[in-house]
């Protein structure tokens, strides 16, 4: 699972450079995220703009990462295409996560 990270001020931006997060890659996704989250930051934005498919295992992995961060750090999402956004909406996870239309909006909305 290829993930790319960079700091933008106090925000850690992690881009999923894969077209899918599914059962085959969910464990590797969580392991890579765990390693990247060791970087201190106030916020974490997960850029999903390259992801075109997310199944229930992928959704579970994203939720697990959110729980791993705990209450002191937020996991925000950006760049969801219509298919991925529908998974979050149908499972009501869109009410749990802050979702930005694009990374630029997420960075601009830093609070």
Q: What is the DSSP string of 22-88?
A: -TTTHHHHHHHHHHHTTS--SEEEEE-TT--EE-HHHHHHHHHHHHHH-TTSEEEEE---HHHHHHH
For 81-111, the pLDDT digits (tens) are 999 999 999 999 999 999 999 999 999 976 5
Q: Give the whole-number percent of the chain exceeding pLDDT 70.
A: 98
Mean pLDDT of the chain: 94
**Digit-coded pLDDT (tens) for 50-63:** 999 999 999 999 99
Percent of the chain predicted with pLDDT > 90:
91
pLDDT of residue 71: 86
Over residues 33-38, mean pLDDT? 96
In the chain, what are the domains?
3-108 (3.30.750.24)
d(CA 81, CA 74): 21
DSSP H or E segment with residue 106: helix 103-108
Residue 72 has pLDDT above 90, yes or no: no
User: Maximum Cα–Cα distance for the chain, whole Å?
Assistant: 35
pTM of this structure: 0.95
């Amino acid at each position: 699972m290829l993930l790319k990270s960079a700091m933008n001020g106090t925000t850690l931006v992690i881009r999923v450079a894969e077209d899918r997060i599914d059962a085959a890659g969910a464990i590797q996704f969580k392991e890579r995220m765990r390693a990247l989250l060791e970087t201190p930051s106030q916020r974490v934005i997960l850029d999903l703009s390259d992801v075109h498919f997310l199944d229930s295992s992928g959704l579970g992995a994203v939720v697990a990462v959110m729980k791993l961060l705990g209450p002191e750090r937020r996991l925000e999402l950006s760049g969801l295409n219509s298919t991925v956004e529908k998974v979050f909406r149908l499972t009501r996870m869109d009410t749990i996560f802050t979702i930005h239309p694009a990374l630029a909006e997420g960075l601009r909305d830093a609070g």
